[in-house]
Structure 1
Amino acid sequence: MRFDVITLFPELFGPFLQHGINRRAFASGQVDVRLWPLRDYAEGNYRRVDDRPFGGGPGMVMLADPLARCWQAVREQRQAEGAPPAPTVLFSPLGRRMDHALVAREAQGPGAILVCGRYEGIDQRFIDQCVDVQISLGDFVLSGGEVAAMAWLDAVARLQPGVLNDAGSHQQDSFNPALDGLLDCPHYTRPEVWQGPRGQAAVPPVLLSGHHGQIEQWRRRERLSLSARLRPELIDQARAAGRLSPDDERWLALLQTAASRQGPNH
């Protein structure tokens, strides 16, 4: 799997690729990441990559020509080295919101050419002719696409075989189909009783019981409770997909009854 990253700031990726759990995926080449400095493909003494927008307005717009030259160089190198065709991804507020389903699908693919925008935006003509997919991290704006690209690479890399110490670890992640798309449950470790800044807090007794059936029931109900409270649309999606059991529905009904008794201020 190969990712070619077109960026004005390749130095931002150095620490990211060299540290953390996912570094073994990058260091081994299991996830091959190649950085393409955009200014290397700009012309003139100043290697200019942006200009004022037609029609006026604030900010600067990235020029189509340097982007297209770099993009073409990436495609030619991929082809010369026998890399499979891959989509060109632009990180943009206009794109599809990044989610687990999208990441899991792309984790099985050949990789992509990642375009990191900057300034007010990118000349639309480059987007129209060269970009296949636009992806957004959420309803907010970043200074550039590099942070989004790192989030994308991190999410994809951790799903590769052998990257995580426990092969089944990502199966317990929030939004994973293995958890029916629900949020994950709370986690605890030693000590059993922790003296925190607001007093003592103990591990839920069921987790110390050694009764695997009861532990799994507690975890399931916590996932349902958190999802219903924080992300109710996940409950709706799980219900529509037929992923909720009769016991799940009974628990959700109890939660709803308890919430109605407490009133809107709780």
Structure 2
Amino acid sequence: MEHCRHIGVISLFPGMLRSIFETSIPGRASMKGLVQFHYWNLRDFGTGSYHSVDDYPYGGGGGMVMKPEPLADALDRSLEALLDLSGGLLPRLVYPSPQGQVFTQGVAWEWAGSSRPLLFLCGHYEGIDQRILDEYLLEEWSAGDYVLSGGELPCAMMVDAVVRLLPGVLSNESSPVNETFSNGSFDYPQYTRPRVFRGKEVPAVLLSGDHQAIRRFREEVSRKKQQEIRPDLNGNPAGVSC
């Protein structure tokens, strides 16, 4: 039986992520028992009668900052639960942030190859109190050089990228190996029936039955496309950003 991977999320909007993780490939992986998702609503750890989770920043400035007390309580609770569920494996703590390292396919492979639980802390407003980042040694990872309203969407992207690489999740185990970024170039173009669509024919080599010729054709067109669109990759076999 495949190992069950535990993935936890701390968020003000856990329902947003639950709706994503219960569908498509993450949902099927969960139903197979290959991954188990856990959710903690940060509002449950808020302070005062209004369960406040944010406050004004020291030193002035616009916006609000997420307070350390609710964050610490949520992290303590979720860490304890994940440690127990995983038999004592220390979770990897991830804070989606535009200031973090760029998440790549290489990182997805690395995380998928580990048995450690993943725990995502999804921020909002102007961010979280720096003392939480320092105290819990949160890893900051970015989905790209742009700013979103919160950490939920980057979290969903990273989780999806990792889950689909877990053993037993995809029906065709060779699929992720042949995809874009996994072998240093883009994926090759795909064609299906009909053979002719609006006057455009499927490349003849794909109908030839010559597997070596098909492989050479696919490698050539994928490499050419990668060089035209993303020459910065330079054949990096895992698409890793350091």
TM-score between both structures, scaled by the size of structure 2: 0.91
Q: 1:23 to 1:214 in 2, by over 3 A?
A: same
Percent pairwise identity: 38
1:89/1:131 contact within 8 Å kept: no
State the SS of the aligned residue for 1:135.
Answer: strand
State the SS of the aligned residue for 1:153.
Answer: helix
State the SS of the aligned residue for 2:186.
Answer: coil
State the SS of the aligned residue for 1:55.
Answer: coil
1:51/1:61 contact within 8 Å kept: yes
Which consecutive segments of 4 or more residues in structure 1 shift more than 4 A? Answer: none
State the SS of the aligned residue for 1:21.
Answer: helix
Shift of 1:169: 0.8
- Look up the match of 2:123: 117
2:83/2:91 contact within 8 Å kept: no
1:185/1:222 contact within 8 Å kept: yes
Shift of 1:167: 1.3
Shift of 1:77: 2.0
> Where is the helix percentage greater, Structure 1 or Structure 2?
1
Alpha-carbon distance in 2 for matches of 1:218, 1:123: 52
- Look up the match of 1:27: 31
1:18-167 equivalences in 2 (<5 Å): 18-81=22-85, 82-109=87-114, 110-167=116-173
Unaligned runs of 5+ in 1: 239-266
**One-letter identity of the residue aligned with 2:105:** H
Q: Residues 193-242 of structure 1: CA distance to partner in whole angstroms, max 9, x if unpaired?
A: 112xxxx221111111111111111001011101110111223546xxxx
Alpha-carbon distance in 2 for matches of 1:67, 1:146: 16
- Look up the match of 2:222: 223
Q: Of 193, 197, 214, which residue of structure 2 is paired with 1:194?
A: 197
TM-score between both structures, scaled by the size of structure 1: 0.83
Q: 1:30 to 1:83 in 2, by over 3 A?
A: farther
The CA RMSD measured in Å over matched residues stands at 1.4
State the SS of the aligned residue for 1:122.
Answer: coil
State the SS of the aligned residue for 2:120.
Answer: strand
Unaligned runs of 5+ in 2: 238-242
